[in-house]
Each structure stands twice: as structure tokens, then as C-alpha cells.
A and B are shown apart, each in its own frame.
Chain A
């Protein structure tokens, strides 16, 4: 398709736009206040404990890392895979990919006990630590996204293609590496799994494409630019494929773990105990996150309907957030079996299921940083030529 797409900025002086930017800014501000309070007071103002040292900020971080993948893939569809209809999304999606990863890094770093030591991971490297390697991958990913975006602005087709391929390669490292942060922890049965890196990629792609459906729909609608329904319907079908893969990995991982008698207790805790975690597992992650959206996306009556696809995307976004929760939290609250065959008790929560719920500070923190990404995105639309003047072929 040879027809050239002209990109332009949005005017950004409507009341609705100003209101949107102001409210996104306000929520972000609340998030930064929460981060500041956490930093000055210490982690005791959150619900994290010595038994559950990783809480909601970690969940938000890996959720945003995942979402970033969808944006990058969508952006590369035209430049790398030659599906030119998607070129209208290429610039805004590449920007979102970078912004989401920046947000994820903010969520991780501001949750450190010492965020002021931000440069230490770049000075002291431990090649055996997934975190240390990921710091390199994340940085490379953000830089590549920005150079890729620059090449798109300059309409350097060949360079865009090469950088797109490079960005996809680094994205695979980023997402495998993020899954491996947990998968490489041998001490906890629910973390230790070689399937976490590929599961992470699959659910990154499903949640990422879900987010693109919602964000692109709203971006084009609110900026009053025409958008061909067929594009969203196609994104919906990609999302269905990613969901099938993610669902398969979840199934294999849990069946494999449950098969081994040493894991009966932990799998019972996660799957059949009826506690908060098994509810989030079945209702949130499996029901809302996989089964319902698959039903919508495979049903001939709904799969061609943009309204239904938007609904399915919202479900996937909620379901993958539940999945991130299930990846991070249950492995920590379930007690480590230090003395098999014995009951253990101590003043340090040995042998008991630890408690964790998302605290108000953590909720504001996570929501604020998440919103900050879209605050920057909304501002960028006004200052950079990210959106096409028309989205029809």
C-alpha cells in the first residue's frame, strides 16, 4: 500500500482534553506523594512484612512491563511485518511501549528501600542475578524504543525495520528476564518454574494487545479521528491467539506442579482451598482473564463487534492484573517447608500462612505511577506528531 500517512499533533485546547490531563496529573501526583511518604517513613506504612517483602508495587511493575510488549508488537506490525494497515498506530504505540517500561522501572525503583541508590545497579553488576541482567535489558529496551521512534519520525523505512527487529529481540529478553526473576527462586515452590518466562511473554502479549485496543479506541475517538473497526477486530483476533497460549501455559504449569506429591499441599492452598488466593486464581485470572474473553472472541455473534471486543479487552486487562498478583503474592505467603514432616512455630511467622492485602499507600502508589504513564502519553499527543490525520485506508 503506497498511500502515505500524514501524522500530526492534536490541538489539545478543548475543555475535555485539559480536564483529562489535569485529572491524570492529579492522580499521578497522589502516587508520588504515596511514594514520598513510603520513602521518608519506611516500608512499615505499607502492608509488606518480613514474610511478604514484595507487595503491590511489584505487581504493578510487572503488569506494566507486560503491557509494554503489546504496544511494541503493535508498533512493529507495519514496520517489521509489513502489515501496513497498522502503520497508523506505529508511532503512538512505540511511545507507549517506552513510557510503560519507564513507569514499570519507576514502580520498581521507588519501592526500593534506597531509591537514592539508583545508579548502583549500573556500577555494580552481578551477572548471576536476574535483576541485574534485567536492569541492562530494560535500559536497552527503553533506548531502542526511543531511537526506533525517532527513525519513524524521520520516515527512515529501512532503519525502522531493523530497529523494530532489534526491539522485538530485546523485548523477548525483557519479558523472559522478568518471568525469570520469579522462576529462578528455588526456595519457593510457587516461584520455581521454567514456565514462568514463556508464560510471562504470552500474557504480556495478551494484556498488551488488550490495552492497545482500549487505548487506541479512546485516543482516536477522543481526538475525533476516524478509525476502521476492522483494525480493532484484527487486534482482537491476535489477542485471542495470545490468550490461548497463556491459558495453555497456566494449565501445564499447575498440572505439572500438582502431579508431584511434595506439592500437594501448596497446590491445594492455591487451587482448592477457597481462600482469597484461590478465588483470585479461578475468578480473576482464569475466569475473567482467559475463559470469558475467549468466549467473546470466538463467538461468531460477538467477535466482529467492536463493543464486545472492547469489553473482552477490559476483561483481559483485569485478568492479567489478577495473574500478576497470583505470580507475586501466594508464593510468599505460603510457608516454606523447612522441616518436612514437622509442624514449626516461632515468633517470626514460621509455619503459618502470612497475611497480605494491598494497603492504601500501595494502592495510591501503583495507581499513581500507572496513571503517570498515560499523563505523559496525553501530553505527548499534543507536542509530537504521533497520530495520523485519518485512519481509513
Chain B
């Protein structure tokens, strides 16, 4: 770790402590933002439940905007080797096992389950759920045992196999090798009142296949969409109550 990193980390640590003292448990990365409007979560708004709907009919196979945006935004390690590359969001192609059926493309990411098995198995409680339902990892506590990776049915977690050298976004802390990481729903952006990077990129690309918002807010677009069209979570039979919904599968 360079001196710069160390100082940055220390500053961030102090800021996080300050943030925690002001609004216990509400935000982790709030320290990096100076508040915002719209989507900003505050103690009084802790009934917020962030969620996402993905419309597989709008998502095209070639488009990689969401995965690229995520990689840049969150400094997700990429080594060009499928064994070790980090993936906070990945595009998958589904082909029904019926002759001539149309295949679909959709992004897979952490489902921020209401009953997260990764959090249940974590021996040091490094994985936790924020008040707004986002499942996060405390990278300063994670021991790198990888039990959560075995327990997550969505394969949403990746391990830092090698020291990453790229660091595209200084707003998101650089991780050391040896810990597990995953999608945070861009908590640092939400706390600034901005949309997750993948959703913003999807909107910009014109596909508009992702809807993000507060599942508890009857006025939100996502609330109305779910009420009208009943999209489904992946493998809801497992009882994990995922907060990423899919329609058109």
C-alpha cells in the first residue's frame, strides 16, 4: 500500500466513523459523498428498500454497457482470465431447451436478498445488510475464507485472486487481494442521490432495460412496474427473497 493509499484510507476511515456516529448503520460509504437529493437515504428514510427490475425483452446480447460501466465505476479487477476476473455484474445468454426457441440476454448481479445466505454463513459477520436493504461486505473485516462464495446461489461474489493494478475511480476504495467482493448497488452513488452506474449506462445506451428504485415507495416506477407486470426473481423457490426482478424470461 502506498502512502497516498494509506492516507486516503485513513481519511475515509475517519469519515466513515463520523458518518456512523451521525447516522448509525444507515450508510457505509456515505463518507465519500456530501449528501444529495432524491434517492439519498437518511435515518428517517430507512424504510427504503432498493430494488431492480430487468426487462429481458429490452436487453440485447451485444450490449455490454452495464458491465463496462460497473467495471470502471467500481474498479472491478480484470486480468483477462476467466478464472480470476471479478464480475459484479455479468451478461448471460439463456437458451430454452426447445428446438428453435429464441435466446435471451440479461445481466446477472447480486440480488441483495432479504434472506442472504452469504450473510448467514459469514464467520466474522463481515457481510451485513444496510438499513436500505443493500447487502455489503466490510472489506476490512473479511478474512477471505470464501464461505460466502460457496453459499451464494447466484455466483454474485468474486474473490480478489491477484493484486489489481487498475484503479479507474478514486471514489471507490481500491481493494487488496485476498478478500471477497460483489455488487453494492453502487451504494456510494445512491448516497449522493445518483443511480447505480449500470442503470445509468443502460439508460444512456437507449435500451432502458433496467429500472431501479425504492420497492417500498408506491409512487416509484419500480413499485408500479412490479404491481402491474409481476416480474420474478431468480430461483424464488429457494426462499431468499431476491430484490432483483426479471421480466420476459
Contact = CB atoms under 8 A, between A and B. Distances in A.
B142 interface: yes
A178 B183 CA distance: 30
Contacts of A131: 121-123, 145, 147
A117 interface: yes
A121 B141 CA distance: 9
Nearest to B90: A348
Contacts of B162: 41-44
Contacts of A121: 123-124, 143
Contacts of B158: 50
Interface residues of B, number: 52
B82 A348 contact: yes
B155 to A, nearest CB: 7
A225 interface: no
B249 to A, nearest CB: 7
A346 B160 CA distance: 20
B94, B142, B149, B153: most-surrounded residue (chain A CB, <10 A): B94
A191 B180 CA distance: 21
A112 B150 contact: no
B178 A53 contact: no
B146 interface: yes
Contact of B121 (A108, A129, A342, A346): A129
Given A114-B142, A129-B120, A135-B123, A342 B153 contact: no
Interface in A113-131: 113-115, 117, 120-121, 123-126, 128-131
A129 B122 contact: yes
Nearest to A111: B145
A50 B159 contact: yes
A115 B179 CA distance: 11
A343 interface: yes
A112 B122 CA distance: 13
B97 interface: yes
A342 B163 contact: no
B150 A186 contact: no
Secondary structure at chain B's binding surface: helix, strand, loop or mixed? loop
Contacts of A347: 82, 85, 87, 90-91
Contact of A53 (B79, B96, B141, B149): B149
B149 A50 contact: yes
B63 to A, nearest CB: 14
B154 interface: yes
Given A112-B144, A121-B143, A344 B93 contact: yes
Given A114-B144, A348-B87, A348-B155, A343 B97 contact: yes
Is the interface on chain A under 10, 10 to 19, 20 to 34, or 35 or more residues? 35 or more
A167 B180 CA distance: 35
A43 B177 CA distance: 9
B74 to A, nearest CB: 16
Nearest to A336: B153
Nearest to B147: A131
A138 B200 CA distance: 48
A37 interface: no
B124 A132 contact: yes
Nearest to B126: A124
A143 interface: no
A180 to B, nearest CB: 11
Interface of A: 41-44, 48-51, 53-54, 108, 112-115, 117, 120-121, 123-126, 128-132, 135, 181, 184-188, 191, 331-332, 336, 338-339, 341-351
29 contacts: A42-B177, A48-B161, A49-B83, A50-B158, A53-B150, A117-B144, A120-B124, A124-B124, A124-B126, A128-B120, A128-B121, A129-B120, A131-B122, A132-B125, A184-B121, A185-B117, A185-B121, A185-B151, A187-B151, A187-B152, A332-B150, A338-B234, A338-B235, A342-B97, A343-B95, A344-B95, A345-B95, A347-B90, A349-B82
Given A129-B125, A185-B117, A348-B82, 6 more contacts: A50-B86, A112-B143, A114-B144, A120-B124, A186-B151, A342-B96
